[in-house]
Amino acid sequence: MSLVFWFSLEGFSLPEVMAEVARHYLTRAMEEAAGNKTKATQMLDLPNYQTLSNWLKKYGLE
């Protein structure tokens, strides 16, 4: 989904926008950390590895 479509005349869905942003940064962190969840956790400044795992599952990235 493109940001352009989120802001149409009908409005937009904030949950969809938030989910797309989360997926983008989770994917980017995992790529930059070469799949190392501990490094990705640190890059995203998450409190722990389990939080990252939960977010990856929530957004269908694991």
Determine the Cα–Cα distance for residues 59 and 29; give it in Å rounded to an integer. Answer: 14
Enclosing domain of residue 57 = 20-62
Domain count, the chain: 1
Residue 2 backbone dihedrals phi, psi, to 5 degrees: -95, 145
3 inside domain: no
Indicate whether 43 belongs to any domain: yes
The average confidence (pLDDT) of the chain is 88
What is the pLDDT, as a whole number, of residue 8? 59
Residue 15 within any structural domain of the chain: no
Q: Which residues pair with 45 in a beta bridge?
A: none
Q: Is residue 62 a part of any domain in this protein?
A: yes
* Assigned domain for 1 exists: no
Instruction: Quick: pLDDT tens for 7-59.
Output: 555 777 888 889 999 999 999 999 999 999 999 999 999 999 999 999 999 99
* pTM score of the predicted model: 0.80
Domain with residue 43: its CATH number is: 1.10.10
